């Protein structure tokens, strides 16, 4: 009986499951007469025939599509208005600028825009001045006004600082720096031949308006130093003011560059730094000696002279004066001579011969050489 009861319970569950799945309730069949000797079969998973779900039972309803003319478009959002502000100035290189003292200053410039992003750079006005050769601090003010009348200002602070020099290298004792002013000229070729014969090096402080670039080029290529002396050598005009001196100096620099391919950083003031001819402008030598070094140019005076500019100078007197000076300045000697004077050029061979025999070496000046600065008189 327990087995028969279980079979009936499973049959009821099967009918409920079939009904829940959408099937029709089958007509009740007459219960068969139980056979006392035959047990009812228990249905298995394989024997249950589940009817398939009709397609209509799972299909979703179709949503009707409206024609385009009946669809209301989404409203376009209003653009966010740009904030109305004053013009903006952008300083190229920033608000703080540090430059080394030089003959000129080049403003890096700026850009400017209004709130509509219109370019206003051409309208910018700059006030203030940078004195490029004077160490100090300067302010430049940039001003621009837009079409709405709004004005903006920006300030740049420019610091002019002195140039740095390489460290001085003291040479061995008995080092001689022969220097020749006021050339080059026809005598310079003879002088170069003598220097080459003794493998001696020298320095030429040249006068630019002579335009003997051939001699400057030869001297440079043979290992001698080239320095600026002057372009005109007219004291009254070149010491008139700082700008006049700069123009004279730079003209000579261009002659040197043409001959050698580069500018020089060494020079000698016309008349030396202690000259009195510069008194056409009170105090100019005091100012120029500082300005030129702040810009990175080293000037050289002398501690030995041959006196070759004197009216009574001879080859013998020049030789004796130079040799006497070499004996006095055994640490190093910077000798002043002029290759425009042939008697001075003739004295050079005797000086080189004596110096070589007594252990002296002859070198060219550069920025690492020891220097002589005289006491400025103006």
**Which residues belong to the active site?**
181, 338
How far apart are alpha carbons 235 and 248 in whole angstroms? 11
Q: Please name the residues in contact with 289: beta carbons below 8 A apart, sequence gap of 6 or more.
A: 269, 273, 299, 373, 376
Q: Please name the residues in contact with 279: beta carbons below 8 A apart, sequence gap of 6 or more.
A: 378
Kindly give the pairing relationship between strand 332-338 and strand 175-181. Answer: parallel
User: Cβ(83)–Cβ(115) under 8 Å?
Assistant: yes
Q: Please name the residues in contact with 168: beta carbons below 8 A apart, sequence gap of 6 or more.
A: 368, 369, 370, 371
**CA 179, chain centre distance (Å):** 36
Burial class of 244 by CB neighbour count within 10 A (0 to 12, 13 to 18, 19+): middle
Q: Cite the DSSP H helix spans in the chain.
A: 2-20, 186-197, 213-221, 235-238, 242-260, 284-294, 315-328, 342-357
How far apart are alpha carbons 80 and 151 in whole angstroms? 25
3-state secondary structure of 249: helix
β-bridge partners, 143: 125, 153
What does the DSSP 8-state code read for residue 119?
Answer: B
The structure tokens listed for 119 are 């370019």
3-state secondary structure of 357: helix
Largest CA distance in the chain: 167
């Amino acid at each position: 009986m327990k087995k028969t009861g279980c079979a009936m319970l499973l049959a009821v569950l099967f009918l409920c499951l079939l009904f829940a799945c959408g099937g029709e309730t089958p007509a009740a069949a007459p219960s068969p007469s139980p056979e006392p000797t035959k047990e009812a079969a228990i249905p298995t998973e394989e024997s249950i025939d589940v009817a398939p779900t009709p397609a209509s039972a799972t299909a979703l309803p179709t949503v009707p599509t409206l024609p385009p003319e009946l669809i209301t478009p989404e409203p376009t959002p209003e653009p966010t208005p740009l904030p109305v502000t004053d013009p903006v100035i952008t300083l190229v290189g920033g608000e703080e600028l540090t430059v080394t003292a030089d003959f000129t200053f080049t403003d890096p410039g700026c850009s400017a825009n209004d709130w509509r992003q219109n370019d206003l750079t051409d309208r910018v006005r700059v006030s203030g001045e940078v004195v490029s050769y004077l160490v100090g601090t300067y302010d430049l003010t940039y001003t621009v006004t837009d079409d709405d009348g709004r004005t903006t200002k920006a300030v740049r602070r420019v610091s002019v600082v002195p140039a740095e020099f390489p460290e001085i290298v003291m040479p061995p004792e008995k080092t001689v720096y022969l220097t020749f002013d006021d050339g080059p000229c026809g005598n310079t070729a003879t002088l170069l031949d003598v220097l080459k014969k003794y493998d001696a090096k020298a320095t030429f402080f040249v006068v630019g308006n002579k335009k003997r670039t051939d001699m400057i080029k030869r001297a440079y290529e043979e290992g001698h130093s080239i320095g600026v002396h002057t372009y005109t050598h007219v004291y009254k005009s070149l010491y008139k003011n700082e700008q006049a001196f700069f123009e004279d100096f730079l003209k000579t620099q261009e002659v040197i560059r043409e001959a050698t391919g580069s500018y020089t950083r060494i020079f000698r003031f016309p008349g030396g730094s202690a000259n009195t001819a510069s008194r056409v402008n009170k105090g100019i030598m005091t100012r120029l000696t500082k300005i030129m070094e702040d810009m990175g140019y080293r000037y050289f005076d002398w501690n030995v002279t041959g006196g070759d500019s004197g009216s009574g100078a001879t080859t013998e007197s020049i030789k004796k004066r130079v040799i006497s000076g070499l004996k006095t300045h055994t640490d190093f000697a910077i000798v002043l001579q002029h290759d425009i004077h042939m008697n001075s050029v003739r004295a050079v061979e005797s000086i080189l011969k004596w110096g070589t025999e007594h252990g002296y070496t002859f070198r060219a000046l550069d920025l690492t050489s020891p220097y002589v600065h005289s006491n400025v008189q103006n």
